[in-house]
Amino acid sequence: MTITIVGHGYVGLVSACCFADFGNDVYVIGHTDEKLKLLRSGDPIIYEPGLKELLEKNNKAGRLHFIKEYEKAVSQSDIVFITVGTPPKENGEADLSTVFHVAGLIAPHLKKGFTVVSCKSTVPVGTNKEIEKILQKLKPKHADIAVASCPEFLREGSALNDTFFSDRVVVGSASQKAIDLLLKLHASVPGKKVVTDLASAELIKYTSNSMLAVKISFANLISFYCEQTGADVEMVLDAVGLDKRIGRVFMDPGVGYGGSCFPKDVKALISTGKNLGIDTGLLQATEDINQQTRVNFLKKVLKTVKGKTIGIWGLSFKPNTDDIRFAPSLDIIDALLKNGFTIKVYDQEGMENIQKKYTGKLTYCSNPYDVVKGVDSLAILTEWNEFKQIDLDKVKKAMKTPLIFDGRNIYDPAVMKKLGFTYYSTGRQPVV
């Protein structure tokens, strides 16, 4: 079938490449000539493992078309996906202005015959009904349409695998015809097909992300207890995670969650709850604890270091992505700069994005060993495998002071003690 995807960010581009790989003809609408040119040339702009190869493959096969013209794409399409951003406003509410603007641009070009307009952007309950009102008002009289919600569940760093081998595909619509068409599109995806009403589909994505955020913040809350009592958070959570009702996944203490999804989705669900008169105390506590993890980490640094030159390993909010949106590194770098630190940084993929934000304020290094040369301390903020497997003897020799603040608990304290490091981690007693 023929598909249009509006937006070429993480969700839009990954979805476009995967649907094209299924054999569909896919139009991707953008608004920047420079970015569209890069995408046509095989440059995905963003870093996602395997995405460049998949983009090149389907460009070569002629199944991907990166354009600006809505009329050419929408008028030929069986399904139109909206995949634009919904960033948080100052009050935490999701900014839906781009979603509604795009709906207005789609509407006049809907074809004679049946078209599904499906929102993959993460949007609050009721948004798709508003999209439908815009479409019905502006579409040609002959166009037969149905609105659907088909939320994505992509993890940055494993987005291709999550698309091709998803554990579930959620389709929400009041139209059986739309449901059938979307299920046909996802027929080769092995995950369970969950068919719901619009409101349920919209809420499923927010619920999934908020539940995962709650688990992370709960693990960090327990780490606070461990640091004050002498307990070891990894031992505690390993034992708790053996309970099949709980599990260990996403119970990872550290400097907290970041990225383009969890922070904004928790805020948006809080905002929606307040509008509905629901007590959102649990979600607010989740957000508060996430911020407290940064504060606790910084307290350790500011209380311990005697020199003001610090190295940082890891800038992206998680491994296998270049995404620094709401990354813990941003809060920590800002605070360190405010306190007069000289900062050397390295990340496998996030350097370019950090350079755009901190032009001239940081020293950018080409590898992790350059970061630690002559520094008074080292902070680890992203758990890249490169850091887990590094030669720690070489690191120690390069540092002015063998002092490490590990915000991701990637090393064994017993090993660090044997190597002669002063080592601070999360929820575990320091090695001094």
| Pair of tokens at residue 171 | 């389709």
Residue with tokens 């032009």: 359
Contact 377, 310 (CB under 8 A): yes
Q: Is 261 a catalytic residue?
A: yes
Q: Nearest-CA neighbor of 114 among 150, 149, 147, 155?
A: 147
Residue with tokens 């919600």: 149
Contact 74, 112 (CB under 8 A): no
Q: Nearest-CA neighbor of 46 among 321, 260, 263, 315?
A: 321
Residue with tokens 């260990």: 248
Contact 185, 24 (CB under 8 A): yes
Contact 378, 405 (CB under 8 A): yes
Contact 20, 64 (CB under 8 A): yes
Contact 19, 44 (CB under 8 A): no
Catalytic residue among 119, 150, 226, 261: 261
Please give the span between the terminal C-alpha atoms of the chain, in angstroms, as a whole number: 63
Active-site residues: which are they? 261
